[in-house]
Amino acid sequence: LLIDNVEELLPIVYTPTVGEACQKYGSIFRQPQGLYVSLRDKGKVLEVLRNWPHRNIEVICVTDGERILGLGDLGSQGMGIPVGKLALYTALGGVRPSACLPVTIDVGTNNENLLNDEFYIGLRQKRATGEEYHELMEEFMAAVKQIYGEKVLIQFEDFANHNAFDLLAKYRKSHLVFNDDIQGTASVVLAGVLAALKEVGGTLAEHTYLFLGAGEAGTGIAELIALEISKQTKAPMEECRKKVWLVDSKGLIVESRKNSLQSFKKPWAHEHEPLTTLYDAVQSIKPTVLIGTSGVGRTFTKEVVEAMASFNERPIIFSLSNPTSHSECTAEEAYNWTQGRAIFASGSPFDPVEYDGKTFVPGQA
């Protein structure tokens, strides 16, 4: 059914519907669709994995539920994400369902609403951190390799920033892993930018990029854009990164903030006066490409989008946060506020927009 009706069912199987399904997972729970590995399984993770009925696993999608889409910590109810993502592996990639294993690592949740919800299906405790967390992850990764071999693909999905970067760095040389939020999103968005440049003109290096959001997705996309600029121009990465600017919750990431920044943000701290708002950053930097990965809806305000349109004939605006309610702006807003001149893409699907007698079909990245 999904394979034959991908366009219609994609928003149901994955974002935006999957976000609501995760929020209500305990209330709508009927039967397990993936494998849960909890703190109580410590020392027995290999045994737990052997309970899965299929042996020829090729792809594992695993989350710990701490940063589900833009919805935050949903604990074990984040299982809807690996289930939905692996359905796309089958529908769009042709991978056998029996070769796919959705996994949720349940180490608790810091979401008080879930801890007090009588239908919550996970561990009712605060989220484990530090050594306790990493020991469970180490046991899981070792067990996966022992049972399914070195060639099984492990996709890290919707881990919080502090664990996402650490896990990727730790296991990328010993396991076949990638982080979808850092690397998967980046590859798709870079492809989207390259496609947009066919309309706008110019090379990657000739454009200026401004991100709202400096987490996994934002820094991952930024790094891949800089890497591609470096490949095309043969310039060093340090130089290429200067084409890319990031705004986080405290404002523009600049050199004067470097000592207080998390390590993954530091490469993006450029020389510039401190600016606290996105609008000020847009006005000062005058980007040709504006990309939202903030997880906060309606942050591409009318004044921000109109500013982009004031100095760009075809402003490139990617509003990527999921689900739809967390998108930085809607397709309709982007087209209306730029008089139909924007090249727009979003993380969740938007319907076509009618403007000035023309139909605009938003892209999805």
Residue of 14, 25, 120, 171 marked catalytic = 14
Question: Is the Cα dihedral 238, 239, 244, 250 positive or negative?
Answer: positive
The backbone torsions φ and ψ at residue 319, rounded to the nearest 5 degrees and listed phi first, read -105, 95
The annotation status of 67 as a binding-site residue, yes or no, is: yes
Residue type, 293: T
> How many Å apart are CA 268 and CA 294, to the nearest integer?
16
- Is the Cβ–Cβ distance between 82 and 104 less than 8 Å? yes
The annotation status of 239 as a binding-site residue, yes or no, is: no
- Residue 257 burial class via C-beta count within 10 angstroms: exposed 0-12, middle 13-18, buried 19 and up: middle
The annotation status of 248 as a binding-site residue, yes or no, is: no
Each as own residue / partner, the long-range contacts of residues 37-40 (CB below 8 Å, 24 or more positions apart, any chain) are: 37/103, 37/104, 37/105, 37/106, 37/136, 37/140, 38/76, 38/105, 38/106, 38/107, 38/122, 38/123, 39/106, 39/107, 39/108, 39/123, 39/128, 39/132, 39/136, 40/123
Kindly state the helix (H) or strand (E) to which residue 192 belongs, with its residue range.
helix 185-200
Closest of 320, 316, 339 to residue 329, by C-alpha: 320
CA angle in degrees (0–180, nearest 5) for 15-164-49: 80
The annotation status of 313 as a binding-site residue, yes or no, is: no
Looking at the DSSP bridge assignments, the partners of residue 345 are 318, 363
The backbone torsions φ and ψ at residue 266, rounded to the nearest 5 degrees and listed phi first, read -60, -35
Side-chain half-sphere of 2: how many Cα atoms within 13 Å? 17
The annotation status of 158 as a binding-site residue, yes or no, is: yes
Q: Look up 335 and say whether it is catalytic.
A: no
Residue of 25, 44, 85, 209 marked catalytic = 85
With both helix axes pointing from N to C terminus, report the angle between 161-171 and 130-148 in degrees, rounded to the nearest 10: 40
Q: Look up 89 and say whether it is catalytic.
A: no
**Annotated binding-site ranges:** 67, 157-158, 181, 322
Active-site residue set: 14, 85
Annotated binding residues for a divalent metal cation = 157-158, 181
Which residues does the annotation place in the binding site for (S)-malate? Answer: 67, 322
